[in-house]
Structure 1
Amino acid sequence: MSEPTELSPDHKPIGPASSAKHRGKRGAGKGGRKALYGLLAVSLVGAVVSGALLVRPAPDEVPVESLVQSQIQQALLPLDESLARVESQQGALEQRLAELDQRLERAEQRGQENAAGITAAQAQLEQLDLLEPRLSELAEALSRLDSELNLRVTAQNEQIQTLEERLEQSRQAASRPAPVRQAPRPAAPPSPPFQVTGVESRGGHPYVGVSPNGLSSLRDIRLMGVGDRQDGWELTRIRGTHAVFSRNGRSVDVQIP
């Protein structure tokens, strides 16, 4: 038996109901062919009988009944062979059609599975589209937090460095021997007419706070950066726990509390 042929491009898939309908049509076609062959056989038998009746046999000839039966058998033999061949071919065709029905059913099942997979993928894509704005907001919030954290870490590092310098100065002062009486020193240079209240770091740059002498209100405190002036005194440098002010070519080193 030959292998099943592939479906032509214009062949349309049929479902189980259509397959059953086609099998019913094949059964009906088989019955119709058998009925046609029966009619042909009856017609042939009638023709043979009519021909035999028209011939009058002599007394010594073979009886009419035997002659008719022999002719009928000879006439039906080719029909039986043709019918057998047709039934054999029809059985092969039905087997091929059954195989095609199975292949169609498998193809329909794979199509349904693929459709279900596509539907699930589309649902996942829709969920991702809904989550995308939220992810963007979270990314922006994380970026802001990272910037604020970096600023805080920088400020804390500067404070730690200042505390370490003060601690080192305290250790050095404690380890020094008692000062020896020395000759009177010349008069100290004039001090700025304000007090240094502390040091702060803003934007990665240090600033010192100053206030007029005798005033302690926070509203009177002003932040000075390097290059700023107060009462004719210019802040030239901030060095650890000391601020250096200059006026008229003279510099004064003021300790930052």
Structure 2
Amino acid sequence: MKASTFQTVIVGGLCLAIAGLSGELYNQYQRLDELQSTTTQRLKTLDTLRHDLSALQDTQEKLQFALNDLKRAVDTGEQQANTLDPLLDQWAQEIQELRDGLAARATAADMTALRARLERVEQQHQELKAQPSVPPLTPSAAKPKKTARPHPVSLSPPFSVLAVESRAGERFLATAPQGSRSLADIRLLHNGEQIGAWRLKALEARSALFAVTDQPDQTVPLP
């Protein structure tokens, strides 16, 4: 074989080898580029997952704090309920006893007021019977008549007197509308307060003194 031919063969083989290596390098470069692209996407996905995980952990911590607060609130509510339940039962019992007592007092007060009115009427009747009859005078002996002082008119209060109660060292008169037995209708009167035309002037040992509009003062016995 001639030297020129041999060189041509060698050069051609080298060219083919270089071309094959170039193709292989190109393919490796493309695969490397794809791997880099895939790795970049996976890193982005990993960053997103890390961010989501961090947010989830923050949410979990907040939920845990809220759960702890809720547990403390429930424990506090149970303690308050355990403390208030006996008090509520006691208050309900005391209110019922007060209602029963006020109903009984109201009945006794009505009877006392009625008895007092009857006694005043009988006393007035006796005073009228005891007055001597005066014979008619002749015109010559007639003298100017003195105007008789009118007897105080006894009025019936438009309410029932139930009892006298003490609050912070002050005395109050417990009253209720006639015929009422409701605890909600009870009203406490202090000196100077009034119901309708009846104003409480003073609370004495066994009676209450009222000032009545356009009428003389009225004394109401206490139960």
Larger RCO (CA within 8 A; separation ≥ 6): 2
- Please classify the TM superposition score into its range, dividing by the shorter chain length: 0.3 to 0.5
Give TM-score, length-normalised by structure 1.
0.40
Give TM-score, length-normalised by structure 2.
0.46
Larger radius of gyration: 1
